[in-house]
Amino acid sequence: MTTDEEDLRRVFTSASLGQTAYRTWAQQARRERRFNVARLFEALSAAKQARAEYTFRQLGEVGSTARNIERALAGLEPEAIATGPVTATTALARDLLTRAKNAANENRDLRADEMADLFVCATCGEVREGHLVGACPVCGTVPEAHKAFRAIEAMGVLGPHAIMAFLEHSEEALRKLVDGVDEALLARRLVEEQPSLKELTGHLVDIDAVFRERAWLLLETDRPELPPAHPPRLDAAKAYRSQPMADILAAFHATRRQTVNLLRGLTSAAWHRLGHHELYGEINLLHQGNWVVIHERTHLIEMAQLRHDLLAADSQLHEAAELPDPVINDVSEGE
């Protein structure tokens, strides 16, 4: 192996490991509702991925698709090589991560005024912050070939069709998840610190009302200042444990119908109406629509797992109430 090839393999290994680390950390940040920190990790992961792909090609590991299939079937086995640090390897990355550390020390997400939009060169992985001007200073790739990680898209990039499709059909999934489970199990906490199915359902009722209030403000007022307070947390849903599930589902049905009726038939311009959020800066209705979808879908998946775990203890009960197919549909970005 030549020195040049050894250096390329070191970069490839380092970038591949770094991409995995940043991507996994981004997933955890989203679980903790630190969406701007997640955006940072996702941008750094994309930068590492671009560098890994670039060096992989330089190593001659990419040919025609037919050849690549043969290589894949043969089992690609890169030679192991020491890499040194695989994250925080650039001055900007260290600066951005330091800002995130300061926010984490205060038990909060990064604010919009602490981290601007990020752009990653699709060729070499160079990261730039702020307004994108000119080609990549490292490799000359044009701005159009950069991947954007904008604050206004921190929640995701679902379009109006995908958002509405999810909001209109998630109640059906919710009802299937609690169908066949008795009231005692619906109120049971497997672990004291984790909410029950009734609490999770009630939490979705509360969050839908918050989302609808924000949507109304964006639609009916000019650049509103959205309430900076956090939406109701799961702790506030404890009261739902003593309520019949039928009543909780009825409350969800009522609030969701109001929300869907508010949003149905909106123009593209309406979905892009702007407001200001203390944490995320300038946002639009699409931003908040993505927020409610990712929040609700995460909890529905949590409920599916909880249902499974509750019923698994009793094999007869589990067999009788087992769902034949997945009930939570995936959503396609950009629809």
pLDDT, tens digit (0-9, with 9 covering 90-100), for 268-294: 999 999 999 988 889 999 999 999 999
Please tell me the predicted confidence (pLDDT) of residue 334: 45
Please tell me the predicted confidence (pLDDT) of residue 230: 67
Please give the residue that has the higher pLDDT: either 66 or 334: 66
Please tell me the predicted confidence (pLDDT) of residue 320: 57
Q: How confident is the model at residue 335 (pLDDT cuts 50, 70, 90)?
A: very low
Please give the residue that has the higher pLDDT: either 78 or 132: 132
- Beta-ladder partners of 282: 276
| 295-311: average pLDDT | 93
Q: How confident is the model at residue 332 (pLDDT cuts 50, 70, 90)?
A: low
Please tell me the predicted confidence (pLDDT) of residue 233: 76
Q: Is residue 318 pLDDT above 60, yes or no?
A: no
| Rounded Cα–Cα distance for residues 26 and 97 (Å) | 12
Report pLDDT digits (tens) over 11-70. Answer: 999 999 999 999 999 999 998 889 999 999 999 999 999 999 999 999 999 999 999 999
| Rounded Cα–Cα distance for residues 308 and 114 (Å) | 42
Q: How confident is the model at residue 94 (pLDDT cuts 50, 70, 90)?
A: very high
Please tell me the predicted confidence (pLDDT) of residue 313: 76
Find which of 30-34, 121-125, 307-311 is predicted with most confidence, using mean pLDDT.
121-125
| Rounded Cα–Cα distance for residues 273 and 164 (Å) | 17
Please tell me the predicted confidence (pLDDT) of residue 97: 96
Query: pTM for this structure?
Result: 0.85
Contact 37, 100 (CB under 8 A): yes
| 184-209: average pLDDT | 94
Q: Is residue 331 pLDDT above 80, yes or no?
A: no
Of 165, 130, 134, 137, the residue nearest 151 (C-alpha)? 130
| Rounded Cα–Cα distance for residues 284 and 218 (Å) | 7
Q: How confident is the model at residue 179 (pLDDT cuts 50, 70, 90)?
A: very high
| 206-222: average pLDDT | 96
| 95-120: average pLDDT | 95
Q: How confident is the model at residue 121 (pLDDT cuts 50, 70, 90)?
A: very high
Please tell me the predicted confidence (pLDDT) of residue 227: 78
Q: Which of 21-35, 68-82, 160-174 has the lowest mean pLDDT?
A: 68-82
Q: How confident is the model at residue 329 (pLDDT cuts 50, 70, 90)?
A: confident
Q: Average pLDDT of the chain?
A: 91
Percent of the chain whose pLDDT exceeds 70? 94
Of 65, 138, 121, 17, the residue nearest 9 (C-alpha)? 17
Count CB atoms within 10 A of the CB of residue 210.
Answer: 19
Percent of the chain whose pLDDT exceeds 90? 77
